[in-house]
Amino acid sequence: MKGSRSPEYSKLAYIYDTIMEDVDYEVWADFIDEIIQTNHPDPVSILELACGTGSMALSLDELMCYDIVATDKSPHMIKIARCKKRDNRWSDVDFEVMDFLDIALDRRFDAVISTFDSVNYLHKPRDIVRLLKEIKKVLKPDSIFVFDFTTPKNSIRSIKYLNNEEGYAPGNYRFFRKSSYNPSSRIHYNVFDIEKLDNDMETVLEKYHEVHKQKIYTLPEMLDIIDETEFTLLAKYDGFDLVEADESSLRITMVLQCPTIQ
């Protein structure tokens, strides 16, 4: 049976939390909260872009009484996020389907966040400039945008453990991942073959093929892109500490401030 090609984050939604099970979102949410509190005097409202299955928003919501709207382009990821919210009855995160290149919200926030390489899905610097223009529409004056991106060094390192990954996920899914990095185009590919199995866990009922392409930016490139916009760089953090990032960092979290006059 040949797998049909599915759009990014459609079938992957069903195995996403399994492939992320080593990521401690509670610790990560702590770090994001520390960044927000460090760089904003009185944060109340947060907009998350590219929230995936909602793990960051739900962890942040558990940590602090923020008013959180969490959005993602994939309706499949948002469907799972809403199911997780139903399981956590205390949560009042508002999950919505939204493309971050076309932000249509009639309110402004103290902080906008986007974690786990989501900005790397933008393949051209002009797309990141466009993203920042969209974000400006929903930030209050002097509020912040916090996002991370992954660097070439991280891609080279991560293919060693990401490539040839295989496993099972709830709902009778089996998956295989091929991960490769092209250092000249600086595109990181993650190709997933996902199978829906019968209850015997052997018979393959359906097969899907999802190709994920991420553009891997260097720190100087990202700084040049930000320079083209009206945002000011407040901080750049290395990994998961409030330590200054440099060109040897694997993952960098940027904090940008929105211009006062809009």
Residues 6+ away with beta carbon under 8 Å from 78: 51, 54, 71, 72, 95, 96, 97
Among 27, 44, 101, 204, binds ligand SAM (CB under 6 A): 101
Residues 6+ away with beta carbon under 8 Å from 260: 141, 142
Per CB under 6 A, 74 contacts ligand SAM: yes
d(CA 88, CA 118): 25
Among 26, 30, 62, 99, binds ligand SAM (CB under 6 A): 99
Binding mask 119-158 for ligand SAM (x = CB under 6 A): --x-------------------------------------
Distance in Å, CB of 224 to ligand SAM, minimum: 22
Per CB under 6 A, 51 contacts ligand SAM: yes
d(CA 14, CA 137): 32
Tokens 């092209």 correspond to: 182
Instruction: Tell me the window of 66-74, 182-190, 244-252, 253-261 that interacts with ligand SAM (CB under 6 A).
Output: 66-74
Among 32, 35, 56, 135, binds ligand SAM (CB under 6 A): 56
Q: Which is nearer to ligand SAM, 20 or 187 (CB)?
A: 20
Per CB under 6 A, 208 contacts ligand SAM: no
Residues in contact with ligand SAM, counted by CB under 6 A, come to a total of 20
Quick check: 37 and 65 in contact, CB under 8 A?
no
Binding mask 155-174 for ligand SAM (x = CB under 6 A): --------------------
> Which candidate, 55, 62, 63, 53, places its Cα nearest to that of 14?
53
Q: Which is nearer to ligand SAM, 21 or 198 (CB)?
A: 21
Per CB under 6 A, 189 contacts ligand SAM: no
Distance in Å, CB of 6 to ligand SAM, minimum: 12
Quick check: 218 and 151 in contact, CB under 8 A?
yes
d(CA 14, CA 169): 8
Among 46, 52, 68, 179, binds ligand SAM (CB under 6 A): 52
> Which candidate, 216, 41, 238, 256, places its Cα nearest to that of 125?
216
Cα Rg of the chain, angstroms: 18
Which residues contribute to the site for ligand SAM (CB under 6 A)? 9, 20, 49-52, 55-56, 72-74, 77, 99-101, 115-118, 121
